[in-house]
Amino acid sequence: ARDREFKQVLRDDIWSQVWPKLSAGDFKPTLYRVLPFAEAAEAHRLMEDSSLLGKIVLSF
């Protein structure tokens, strides 16, 4: 486990460097597939296949 000081610095860096970029839309995730929640088992099967690139999203 990391010490408290390391975790505080990491948290501060995320807040100051990562969140602004996310809010500005600088990071765009690559979607592999969007599936309805009813197909969650299929989504899990797809995740087990390590050859896919991108995110699998469940829609509700």
pLDDT at residue 27, rounded to an integer: 87
Nearest CA to 42 out of 29, 26, 52 is that of 52
Which domain covers residue 15, as residue numbers?
Answer: 4-59
Q: How many domains does the chain have?
A: 1
Q: Write phi, then psi, for 56 (nearest 5 degrees).
A: -105, 125
Q: What is the pTM of this model?
A: 0.56
| 60 residues of the chain, pLDDT tens digit each | 899 999 999 999 999 999 999 999 998 889 999 999 999 999 999 999 878 889 999 999
Q: Write phi, then psi, for 42 (nearest 5 degrees).
A: -65, -40
Residue 38 and residue 11: Cα distance in Å, rounded? 36
Give 32's contacts (C-beta < 8 A, 6+ positions apart): 46, 52, 53, 54, 55, 56
